[in-house]
Structure 1
Amino acid sequence: MIRVLVPRERQPGETRVAATPETVKRLRGRGCAVWLERQAGLRSGYADEAYAEAGAELFQGEGPEAAERWAEADVVLAVQTPGAPGTEAEAGGSGLEALRPEALLLGLLNPHGDHSLIERLERQRLSAVALELLPRISRAQAMDVLSSQANIAGYKAVLLAAAALDRFFPMLMTAAGTVQPARVVVLGAGVAGLQAVATARRLGALVKVSDVRPAAREQVESLGARFIEPPRLEEAPGEVGGYAREAGAVFLEAQRQLLAPHLAEADVVITTAQVPGRPAPLLITREMLGLLRPGAVVVDLAVGQGGNCAGSRSDASVDVDGVTVIGAGNLPASLPQHASALYARNLAALLEALIQEGELRLDPEDPLLDPCLLSHAGVCRREDLRPARAGQEVAA
C-alpha cells in the first residue's frame, strides 16, 4: 500500500491544502493510505471530520506521531516545499529531513527561487516533482497546476481592480445620465489573461488585450475583447513547449510604444506576462505610468518575478501619482477552497499516472516526468537549476 502524507502548509499567507476530501476518496480508491495533518484543510474550508469520513487518517503535526508518519511516508503532497526559506519552522520530526530515502515529494517547489532545494533533496536521497515544470502536453492537461491556479488569479485580479477603481465597470443608464463602461487593458493572453478578459467582460467593461503571439487574436476576440497587434519584428519571442519565451530588448521597447496610446485611455490595466525561470518583462515603465489617469488601477500578477509594472511591490498596494498599483503575489490563496479543490485534483491525476499495478513507479525517461522530475532517489536531474554549479542559469 502506498502511504501518502499531506502536511499543513506553513508558508506565510498560504491558505491552500494539497488534498481535499474528494481527492482523499479518489486516492483511497487506488489503494493508497492517506495520512493528513490535523487542521491542514481548515483555512481552505475543509474540516478534519470531512477528511476522516473520506478515509484519511489524521495525525498531530508534532511529537512522536508526526515523526513516525513522516519517516514512513512514500509520497508527500504539498502546495509549497516543506521547510523552504521563509516557512514557519517545521515541528520536530517533520519536514523533508524526516523523510526516508527515495520518498517522493510533489508540489510547487519553486525550483528557480529556492537555491537550497537541490541540496536538500540530494542529502535526503529524495525524489521530487516540481509542478511548475510539468510539460504542457495532452497527457498532462488534467495535471496542469499552473493553468488551474492562473484561472483563479485572472478572475480575482479583476475583482481587486473593480474594488479599487473609482468608477463602475458596466455602462449604466440613470436619470442623471449615462455612465460609460470602464476600459480595461490586459497584458498577456495566457490562462490568467484570458480569465481576466472573461471576468471583466462579464462585469460590463470594454477590454483590449496585448500579447506577443499574433495567434492569440482568435481567443481574445472570441471573448468579446479587442486584440492589440504585437510589433512586427523578426525577433518576436513566441513560445516553447506551451510557455512564453523571453522577449529581446528591441521587441520590448517596440511593444511599449504600441501600448502607450492604449494606456492613456485605460481605467484598469492587468499585467500577466511571465517567463518561467526569468525575470518578468517590464511592460509599464515609470514614465508610462504617467500616461494613466489619476484614479486608474494596475494589478500586477507578475510581481513575484519582479513585476511587469515599475514600482509594484509584492502583496502591497502603492499609490504612484494617483495611480493605484497592486502587486498581487499569490491570488489563488485568496480563494483557497476552489484553489485547493482544483490543485488537489491536479495532484491526484498526476499521482494516479505514477501508480501502476498498485506500486509507485517513476520513469525518468517518460516525457511526462522528464522535465519536472528534479531528483530521482537523490540524484539531481536538473543541473541547470543548481545555482552553485550553473550560475543560477535556467532552461529556456
Structure 2
Amino acid sequence: MKILILNEALEQRHHAHVERRCAVSSQTIAKLVKKGIEVYVEKGAGLLSHYKDEDFAEAGASIVADITEIAKQVDILACVNTPKESIVEKLPAGTVVIGHLDPFFNEALVTKLAKANLTALSVEMIPRTSRAQKMDALSSQASLAGYAMVMKAADTLPSILPMMMTPSGTIKPAKVFIIGAGVAGLQAIATAKRLGANVLAYDTRPVVAEQVESLGGKFLNVDIGETGQTKDGYAKELSDEQKALLAQAQKEAIASSDIVITTAQLFGRKPPVLISKETLASMKPGSVVVDMAAVSGGNVEGSKPGETAVLNNVTIIGDGFWSEGVPRAATDMYANNIYNLLDEFVKNEPIEFELTFEDDILDAAVITHGGLIRNDMLLSAYEGAK
C-alpha cells in the first residue's frame, strides 16, 4: 500500500494564504512504515512546519521531487486541504483521498472526485463521538486556534493581560469576553485565564456554563428563549428575534472588554454576524476583536477576511488559519489524526483500506465512492444552492 503526502505550500490559496501544515510528521511516518505502508512525501512538504526532508527520510519516507508518476500508483492521498484538480486527474480509480475538503462550499471538486471514481473522506464530516475523538481533526485544530487567537490578541493589545502591582501603581487585569464555548472557545478561555485576564464567556448552549466556570471563567447568562445543540454538539442556529435579544445583552459586555474573541461557526453554513459596527463603536480605544470566522463569512461587521483592520481605534483581527500560527504543533496533531484514522481502518493480510459503510465514522465521513456523491446532506445543500 502506497500513501502520498503533498507539499501544499506550493499552491497559494484564497486570501493569499500559504498552507504551513503537513499531513504527516516524522513520528507518524515511522508508525505508518511499521504498519507496512510505503510513504511518499513531496519534496519540501514539511519545511513550513519545521520538518526537513531529511527528518522524513530518516523516519522511512521516500522524498519525491516530481509526484507525477507516483500519483498514478498510490492507494491513499492524505492532504491538509483540498488537492489541486491536476493531481486529482492523475489518481487511479479507487484511491482514498483524505483531507479538509470543505465539501459544502466545494461542489465542483466533490463532483470531480466522484466522477473520477475516487473515495473521498472529508475530515470535517467525522462525527464527534467518543470513538472518533482520536481522529477528529476539526477539534484538534480548533483547540490550537483558541490558544493562537488569545496570543495574537495579547500581542496586539496596548496593555497587559494580568494584574501587575508595582511601586509606581497597579495595572488592572484585562477583561476578555469570549463568544462561543466550543473547542476553540474553551481553549481561549483557559489560555486567557492562565495569562491572568478576567474572563467572561457566552454560548447559546447553557449546558457549557459548567465547563466555562471549571476553567475559571464567568458565564454570561442571557435569557433568549429555547436554544440548544445539534446531535453532533454544535450550537443550533438562532432566530432573528433571538439574535437581536442576544446582541443587545452582549453589547454591554463587549463595550467594557479589552479583548473580544468570537468563535461562532455553523457547520456547512455561513456564520452569524454577532457584533455590529455600532457595537464596535462603543468599545474603548485600543481594544482588540478577534473574528475566528472572518475567512468563512465573519462574526464581526467590518472584519476583513485574512487581514487585520482598524475601525474607530478598535483592531479587528480576521487573519484566519489560526492553528497555523503554531504550525509545528498543528502538523503534529493533524498528522496524529490522520495516522489514527488509518490505524483504525487499514487492515493487514492483505493490507488494504477496509471500507464498510456499516461503520458510523466511515458512513458519515466518506462523501464520494463508486462514482457517486453518497452524502444526503451534501446533495441537499447542492440542490438548494441551484
Q: Which residue number corresponds to residue 212 of structure 2?
A: 220
CA distance in 1, matches of 2:174, 2:291: 18
Q: Which residue number corresponds to residue 69 of structure 1?
A: 70
From 103, 106, 114, the equivalent of 1:114 is 106
Q: After the TM superposition, which of the residue ranges 272-281 and 244-253 deviates more from structure 2?
A: 244-253
Q: Which residue number corresponds to residue 363 of structure 2?
A: 370
Q: Which residue number corresponds to residue 307 of structure 1?
A: 298
Q: Which residue number corresponds to residue 87 of structure 1?
A: none
TM-score, normalised by the number of residues in structure 1: 0.92
Q: How does 1:330-345 map to 2 (within 5 A)?
A: 330-345=321-336
Q: Which residue number corresponds to residue 311 of structure 2?
A: 320
Q: Which residue number corresponds to residue 229 of structure 2?
A: 238
Q: CA deviation at 1:305?
A: 2.2
Are residues 1:152 and 2:144 paired? yes
Are residues 1:53 and 2:58 paired? yes
Q: Which residue number corresponds to residue 169 of structure 1?
A: 161
Q: How does 1:173-322 map to 2 (within 5 A)?
A: 173-234=165-226, 236-322=227-313
From 26, 35, 39, the equivalent of 1:34 is 39
Structure 2 residue identity aligned to 1:377: G
User: Which whole-Å deviations, capped at 9, do the CAs of 1:64-93 have from their partners, x for residues lacking one?
Assistant: xx2220000000010011116xxxxx5xxx
CA distance in 2, matches of 1:120, 1:300: 32
Q: CA deviation at 1:232?
A: 4.0
CA distance in 2, matches of 1:142, 1:209: 27
Q: Which runs of 5+ in 2 are unaligned?
A: none
Q: How does 1:381-392 map to 2 (within 5 A)?
A: 381-386=374-379, 390-392=383-385
Are residues 1:101 and 2:93 paired? yes
CA distance in 2, matches of 1:44, 1:387: 37
Q: After the TM superposition, which of the residue ranges 345-354 and 357-366 deviates more from structure 2?
A: 357-366
SS in 1 for 2:79: strand
Q: CA deviation at 1:238?
A: 2.3
CA distance in 1, matches of 2:381, 2:235: 26
CA distance in 2, matches of 1:387, 1:135: 19
SS in 1 for 2:360: coil
TM-score, normalised by the number of residues in structure 2: 0.95
CA contact (8 A) 2:286 2:313 kept: yes
Q: CA deviation at 1:265?
A: 0.9
CA distance in 2, matches of 1:129, 1:121: 10
Q: CA deviation at 1:176?
A: 1.5
Q: After the TM superposition, which of the residue ranges 28-37 and 244-253 deviates more from structure 2?
A: 244-253
CA contact (8 A) 1:237 1:246 kept: no
CA distance in 1, matches of 2:43, 2:361: 32
CA contact (8 A) 1:103 1:377 kept: no
SS in 2 for 1:72: coil
User: Which whole-Å deviations, capped at 9, do the CAs of 1:254-283 have from their partners, x for residues lacking one?
Assistant: 111111111121000000011111111111
CA contact (8 A) 2:25 2:331 kept: yes
CA distance in 1, matches of 2:46, 2:141: 17
Q: CA deviation at 1:388?
A: 9.0
SS in 2 for 1:233: coil
Are residues 1:4 and 2:7 paired? no
Cα-Cα RMSD: 1.5
CA contact (8 A) 1:188 1:271 kept: yes
CA contact (8 A) 1:231 1:251 kept: no
User: Which whole-Å deviations, capped at 9, do the CAs of 1:207-259 have from their partners, x for residues lacking one?
Assistant: 0000011111111011111001132403x142321222222212111111111
Q: CA deviation at 1:389?
A: 5.1
